[in-house]
Amino acid sequence: MQAATMEQVEEPPSLLWGLDPIFSAFARLYVRDILQMTESTQVPGIYFYNSHPISKVDVLGTVVYKREREDFFCYGVDDGTGVINCLCWKSDLLKGQEDPGKSKGQTSDGALRGFNPVTELKKLRQSQQNRCHVEIGELLRVRGPVKTARQQREIKASTYYKVNDPVMAVQIAWMMEVPQLYRVCYDKPLQLHPTATGDPAISPLSKATNIIKNFCQQKSVTRFRPYDVQDLLQPLISTGPQTTSADMEPVAGPSASQQLRQLVKKVLVMLQDEGLIYRKVKSQDEVYHVTAQDKDLLIAVKDIIKEDSKREKYAEKGCHILHILSAVRQRYSLNVSKAALELVLKSLECNSDIVSTSDNHYTVF
């Protein structure tokens, strides 16, 4: 289903791929999504997830099959969403390279004092071999480019190693981090609007939005009113007369103050859509609360999850995000959006106040 959706998304020009930071990173995608990604029609070996160009991935999973050849291993890695073949080339250590003790028969001065560098080198190589030798049922981490060979999707590993995780600390950290990456990066389609010169166009609205975001973050603002931020956006307003392209004569248009008010209004709407701000009470006095700085909202959400997780209905999987949203609107404010709640849940999860038990379900420790 996901593959069909991605095929309908128009592929951005290859010259703009570098503007997406995901393009140069090892994307931590689920195996299911790696198998369903569509390949670029412009450049073979590049794939798209939600319009993001993907060239290399980072996978953690259990080895479910293993095939050995003279120069490489083929491991089947299962992360719980699917199984993907990983082509892992053998290092020189695994090919039975020449024994370092045979290179020179002389004994060093260090060996006479009780330290034998040849022996220590053997131990180091043995340790490296143990890290590279993986059996079925063990945990393997693989990083490398995605390839399609024999009509099958696989990972050509540039780095791979066995993960020792007796208390599942690595796997739990991974399961908490990857859904967050999906929410923040992968599931948000990349919006690129190239100009005639090939550079991305930065609109005044985008500039204004970034200014307000930086203001709230740097000043640790908890709430503000529209007139508190108007002066910050004043430099973005053009005060010169507007002209037409035909005769270049000045024409009447909105005044600078009207433009400023319209810009502030658009910025506030955009920030509310992203969940960064919200109005706790809608009244003539326009007060906007900064979601990340609203301690009362964080406490309210945490208390709801803590209280409702004790109920038999939510004891096993935890509270669904829609249930939490409904409870927050009933007990705290009707104007809290789902986007704002997601930011609150992210903050609580980062502080280890809550944990996501599965997709969109949360409970307390």
Per-residue model confidence as pLDDT tens digits over 7-25: 445 677 888 888 888 998 9
Q: Is 274 exposed, middle or buried (0-12, 13-18, 19+ CB in 10 A)?
A: middle
- What residues does 139 pair with on adjacent strands? 62, 163
With a cut of 50, list the residues of the chain below it in pLDDT. Answer: 1-8, 97-112, 195-200, 243-248, 250-251
Query: For residues 354 and 348, is the Cβ–Cβ distance under 8 A?
Result: yes
pTM to 2 decimals?
0.48
Q: How far apart are CA 63 and CA 134, in angstroms?
A: 8
Predicted local distance difference test score (pLDDT) of residue 172? 93
Tokens of 106: 């002389």
Predicted local distance difference test score (pLDDT) of residue 190? 75
The H-or-E segment that residue 130 falls in is: helix 117-132
Residue showing tokens 């949203």 = 325
Please choose, from the candidates 292, 258, 298, 299, the residue with its C-alpha nearest in 3D space to the C-alpha of residue 277.
Answer: 292
Predicted local distance difference test score (pLDDT) of residue 105? 46
Predicted local distance difference test score (pLDDT) of residue 73? 87
Residue showing tokens 């930086």 = 214
The 10s digit of each residue's pLDDT in 71-121 is 888 999 999 999 999 998 887 655 554 444 444 444 444 444 567 888 888
- What residues does 87 pair with on adjacent strands? 74, 156
Helix (H, G, I), strand (E, B) or coil at 286: coil
Predicted local distance difference test score (pLDDT) of residue 4? 39
Q: Which domains does the chain have, with CATH numbers?
A: 2-100+131-168 (2.40.50.140), 204-240+254-291 (1.10.10.980), 294-364 (1.10.10.10)
Predicted local distance difference test score (pLDDT) of residue 218? 83
Q: Is 62 exposed, middle or buried (0-12, 13-18, 19+ CB in 10 A)?
A: middle
Q: How many alpha carbons lie under 13 Å from residue 165 in its C-beta half-sphere? A: 18
Query: For residues 360 and 320, is the Cβ–Cβ distance under 8 A?
Result: yes
Which regions of the chain does DSSP assign to beta strands (E)? 38-39, 47-49, 52-54, 56-68, 72-78, 83-89, 139-149, 152-156, 159-163, 223-224, 242-243, 250-251, 277-278, 288-290, 319-320, 354-358, 361-364
